[in-house]
Structure 1
Amino acid sequence: MDCVEITKELIKIDSSNLKGANKAIDFCKDILISNGLKPEIIENNGFKTLICNIGSGNKKVILNGHLDVISGTPDQFIPYIEDGKLYGRGSADMKSGAAGMLNTILNLKDKNLPCKVELQLVTDEETGGFNCSGYLVNNGFTADFVICGEPTQLGIGIQAKGILQVYLEFTGKSAHGSRPWLGDNAIIKAYEAFKLIENLPFTKEKSELYSHPSINLSKIEGGDVYNKVPDYCKMYLDIRFLPEQNPQEIIRQIEEITGTHVNIHSMGNAVKTKVDDIHVKKLEESISKISNGKTEVFGQHGSADTKFYSNHNIPAVEFGPTGQNWHGKDEFLIVDSLYAYEKMLMEFILNLDSI
């Protein structure tokens, strides 16, 4: 099977649950074993991770891909190709990237490589990544450079915003709904606080790859009946901050302007890979050589498993084939981009001796 055929077989496996994701790992393990390789399966809290190494030398590169997907309808797990596009859940995010990485290992396994290459296939990126990639990096599975095969349209996502998910609680005074002036509406207080937060100093800051951070008012809880002024409101915010920003300073600014305590639900660091990192420049060269064009280098707004390696000061990037509508109804991969992606990975690895 080539990389597209492997992707199609992976799409057929509903890996939106743990059982299916682990089944996808076993499928990839069987392919590697049948080609003479010796993959290792690591299990943590029930989540399987596949590790497979080739090459030798002092330098090491990790190819990291996730096989888990978000839920989909039954028809989304029946892959089909139309007009050069492969449709199906995970076709873009990111079974194609994982398949390209796996096939790259197969194509390079008998070559005299200038470095070690470690394939990591994981099963929990969509739910946080802590049981697989997070576990791996904390247990010594590190490298000089990491590529996560997320769909990037064959560009390089070298940085990613940090994530700060918080909630704030507001209290007011209840009153009859026909006389709202006798009460103190907690929902209005929350919304007025949100408008103030939108204009705090941290929201105006920029960086080399981003024009601003983002704030999403994701949920409001308050009130119980029509004819009562609500005396309590809980407001949830999803803040994506710039690599150079300090989340504690963001919290300080919010508390100062609202007079309300900020409760942290979750917090994740930004990815801070440098634009001029030598591995990034070499990857740019390899992509440009295969595509005969300039490589786009950009910052991601969302989060991926790159964050775990960046936490250990390991340069990590997102780099994957071209697709659209991931997490959507008509998710698809541009088939030719996957073949190009595989060539770019091989070009990059085979020429690492020049670094």
Structure 2
Amino acid sequence: MTDALALTRALTAVDTVGHAETAALEVVAPLLREAGFRLEVFEHEPGRGTLVAEWETGHDVPPLCLSGHVDTVPLGGAPWQRDPFAGETDGDRVYGRGVSDMKAGVAAIVTAAVAVARSRPRRSGLRLVLTAAEETGSQGARFVADRLGPSGPLVITEPTANVAFHGHKGALWLEAHASGVTAHGSMPHLGDNAVVKLAAAVTRLAEYRFGVEPHPVMGPPTLNVGTFAGGLNTNSVPDRAVATVDVRTVAGQDHAALLAELASVAGVEVRPLIDLPPVWTDPGDEWAASAAEIVRDVTGAGGEVATATYFTDASVLTPALGGVPTLICGPGQPEQAHVTDEWCSITRLAESVEILKRICAAWCGI
């Protein structure tokens, strides 16, 4: 029987800070292969693999899809009190980089899937998509998206403390450029100041009003100017400046139309860095409602509808799978993502395995 905590610790021991996801997938691959899954690994860069595992049952109903990423963010500059790659435990906590975001979630997926695959389904099978490079824009999910066949609903085990999230805002990250003409700083009239141009442009963007109603759960869309750089020395007119802008969108907004409008408002060159649409599943959807009820039954939590503040691979996978109903629900603590001495509750991990087993059993007909 697969031990979710031991599997979390084994995954944590593999340093996947922007590399080596294939090595982490080698930890789970033997368990899935032994359970009867057909496995394929697709590398978008050498060593950076995304695993697609199919439990094919011969039924016509498309499989339930479970997904999580195995890459992590860097450790940060502050010293850790715990070894970030040891998976140390202390009371109800397991520590390490990525345990909440989201190697415990991946371990829960694999543990539940292996357990379910011991049964004889009457209705459908399972598909696991364990991705690389989610943290930098879902490159792994993008690389396999067009290789995935018809699918049932999607569950992503990003950190939610086992609360069922019905989606998340979209992320449209932009880079704005302004060009000018350099000249001596004592004769600015001979130049064309790119910093001044771009400062005016980002001020217009900061004052932009979206003209859409706040989403009843996600809230309003937002725009934040995150970085600004220009010029090389004080005594020259700068001929180049660049800024980055973080736009978070809500369900119903079209990114292509919004990008065109923001470029017009800015009046300078604007190009997308990350373009991940929002994800939203109506709580009244039959499958989503039944899955959320399973979550509440296992955790004893209330029924308030919520969405994530962060983006996930659902931005890529949900549309690629045909706009399937999607829930985000995993054992990690949302506020532990990316922090020093990151931890995940061992109790939440066990709950997550039970939640996933029940959701899988209900879909597969077990």
Does TM, normalized by the shorter one, top 0.5?
Answer: yes
Report deviation, 1:196: 1.9
| Alignment match of 1:222 (pick from 198, 216, 230) | 230
Superposed CA offset, 1:256-292 (max 9, x none): 4333343333423222332322221111110111122
Offset of residue 91 of structure 1? 0.7
1:230 and 1:215 map into 2 onto residues whose CA distance is: 26
RMSD value, Cα: 2.8
Is the alpha carbon distance of 1:230 and 1:99 closer, same or farther for their aligned partners in structure 2, counting shifts above 3 Å? Answer: same
Give runs of aligned pairs for residues 69-148 of structure 1, distance below 5 A. Answer: 69-72=72-75, 75-113=83-121, 114-131=123-140, 133-148=141-156
Alignment CA distance shift 1:247-1:40 (3 Å) = closer
- AA paired with 1:42? V
Distance 2:22 2:356 in 1: 25
Q: Which moved more, 1:36-45 or 1:62-71?
A: 36-45
**Alpha-carbon separation, structure 1, partners of 2:284 and 2:92:** 35
4+ residue runs of structure 1 moved beyond 4 angstroms?
171-185
State the AA in 2 paired with 1:91: V
Deviation of 1:200 (Å): 1.8
Specify whether residues 143 and 17 from structure 1 end up closer, same or farther in structure 2 by C-alpha distance, changes over 3 A only: same
Pair 1:198–1:335, CA change in 2 (3 A): same
- 2:340 is the counterpart of 1:329: yes
Does the residue aligned with 1:136 lie in a helix, a strand or coil? helix
Gaps of 5+ in 2: none
Secondary structure of the residue that 2:210 maps to in structure 1?
A: helix
Please name the residue that 1:13 is paired with: 14
Q: Which amino acid aligns with 2:31?
A: I
Q: TM-score, normalised by structure 1?
A: 0.87
Deviation at residue 293 of structure 1 after TM alignment: 2.4
Instruction: Give the aligned partner of residue 213 of structure 1.
Output: 221
Residue 293 of structure 2 corresponds to: 285
Which residue of 2 is the match for residue 351 of structure 1? Answer: 362
Distance of aligned partners of 1:187 and 1:342 in 2 relative to their CA distance in 1, 3 Å threshold: same
Counterpart secondary structure, 2:129: strand
CA distance in 1, matches of 2:179, 2:42: 46
Query: Which is further off, 234-243 or 106-115?
Result: 106-115
SS in 1 for 2:130: strand
Corresponding residue number in structure 1 for 2:241: 233
Which residue of the partner structure matches residue 330 of structure 2?
A: 320
Structure 2 residue matching 1:304: 3-state secondary structure: coil
TM-score, L = length of structure 2: 0.85
| Stretch of structure 1 that moved more, 143-152 or 44-53 | 44-53
Distance 1:293 1:266 in 2: 34
Amino acid at match of 1:314: V
The alignment covers a number of residue pairs equal to 351
Equivalent in the alignment of 1:2: 3
Corresponding residue for 1:25?
A: 25
Identity %: 22
Unaligned runs of 5+ in 1: none
Residues 135 and 261 of structure 1, relative CA distance in 2, 3 Å threshold: closer
Q: Does the 8 A contact of 1:203 with 1:212 survive in 2?
A: no
Answer whether contact 1:55 1:115 (CA < 8 A) is retained: yes
Partner-residue secondary structure (3-state), 2:202? helix
Question: CA offsets per residue over residues 41-61 of structure 1, 9 Å max, x none?
Answer: 333444241414165642521
Query: What is the DSSP-based 3-state SS (H/G/I as helix, E as strand, rest coil) of the residue aligned with 1:14?
Result: coil
Judged with a 3 Å threshold, the aligned counterparts in structure 2 of structure 1 residues 76 and 2 are, in CA distance, closer, same or farther, namely same
Relative to structure 1, the CA distance from residue 180 to residue 349 in structure 2 (aligned partners, 3 Å threshold; closer, same or farther) is: same
Distance 2:300 2:307 in 1: 22
In structure 2, what is the Cα distance between the partners aligned to 1:329 and 1:269? 29
Q: 2:71 aligns with which of 54, 68, 76?
A: 68
Aligned to 1:306: 314
The answer (yes or no) to whether the contact 1:164–1:240 under 8 Å persists in 2 is yes
Deviation of the 1:151 alpha carbon: 0.7
**1:180 CA drift (Å):** 6.6
Cα offsets for 1:178-214 (capped at 9, x unmatched)? 6778876432332232222122221764112222222
CA distance in 2, matches of 1:67, 1:264: 25
CA drift at 1:306: 0.8
Inter-partner Cα distance in structure 1 for 2:218 and 2:189: 43
Change (3 A) 1:249 1:23: closer
The Cα shift of 1:93 comes to 1.1
Q: Which whole-Å CA distance do the structure 2 matches of 1:127 and 1:259 have between them?
A: 28
Mapped to 2, the partners of 1:174 and 1:152 lie a distance apart of 50
- Where does residue 163 of structure 1 map in the other structure? 171
Tell me which residue corresponds to 2:51: 49
- What is the CA distance between 1:326 and its match in structure 2? 1.9
Determine the C-alpha separation between the residues in 2 that align with 1:229 and 1:145: 56
Q: Is the 8 Å Cα contact of residues 169 and 248 (structure 2) preserved in structure 1?
A: yes
